[in-house]
Structure 1
Amino acid sequence: MESQRDPHLWKQAKARVGFRMHFRSYLVINAGLWLIWALSTSFLSGSFTKQLFPWPLFAMLGWGIGLAMHYVSVYNWAGKERSMAEQEYQKLLKQSVS
């Protein structure tokens, strides 16, 4: 018999898995972009002595900001949101009783 899942914990678990998948995609794709940059630079200049501007930095920076925001929303705010909602609920209960 399958045990009942706590819906809040299940939602949090799915969010954490989603972040891990996002992080893996970030690593794999950015590694590929750096590889493309390194190979194209070596073919264009003939050696690694004269390098072109490292354009993969733009992708890493932009996507990294989004990844950091995703991390904060999943790991830092998940518990606080529930406690804030419960505090607000208690406040509304007190107001409705008065």
Structure 2
Amino acid sequence: MPSPLSPEEIDALARRRANAKLGWYVHAVVFVLVNTVLFALSGRGFGTRPWSVYPLLGWGLGLALHGVSVFLLGGGSGLRERMVQREREALLREQQQQGPQPPRD
């Protein structure tokens, strides 16, 4: 079970998560704006086929993966937090097995 977070750690984590969500929202707005312009250009005769679907699909996949990383994997009880906790515990065990180390300069 993870140790309780200090108020400073909670604040830092909350800010990191809020920034990640804000980053996704900015990404989504830029996606919509740029793809709207591309769609308009595609419909105005810049090419014979509706080519704007290709950047839409590629970038849409990137936006979806970005959303998964922010909203599904970024939660407090999510996969990412558990992985970080496991790594932290492994490093602490490794450090305890090695014994005290001289301080680094």
TM > 0.5 between the two?
yes
Instruction: Extract unaligned runs of 5+ from structure 2.
Output: 1-6, 98-105
Give the total of aligned pairs: 87
Instruction: Give 1:6 deviation, angstroms.
Output: 1.3
Which structure would you say has the larger RCO, counting Cα contacts within 8 Å and 6 or more residues apart? 1
SS in 2 for 1:40: coil
Instruction: Extract unaligned runs of 5+ from structure 1.
Output: 45-51
SS in 1 for 2:44: helix
Instruction: Give 1:91 deviation, angstroms.
Output: 4.4
**Does the alignment pair 1:30 with 2:35?**
yes
Instruction: Give 1:92 deviation, angstroms.
Output: 4.3
User: What does 1:1-98 correspond to in 2, within 5 Å?
Assistant: 6-40=11-45, 52-79=48-75, 80-93=79-92, 96=96
Write 1 or 2 for the structure with the bigger share of helix.
1
Q: Deviations over 1:17-74 (max 9, x none)?
A: 0000100111111111111111226xx9xxxxxxx21100111011112111111111
Give the aligned CA root-mean-square deviation in angstroms.
2.6
Q: How high is the sequence identity, in percent, across the aligned residues?
A: 29
Cα distance in 2 for partners of 1:92, 1:63 equals 37
TM-score (norm 2): 0.67
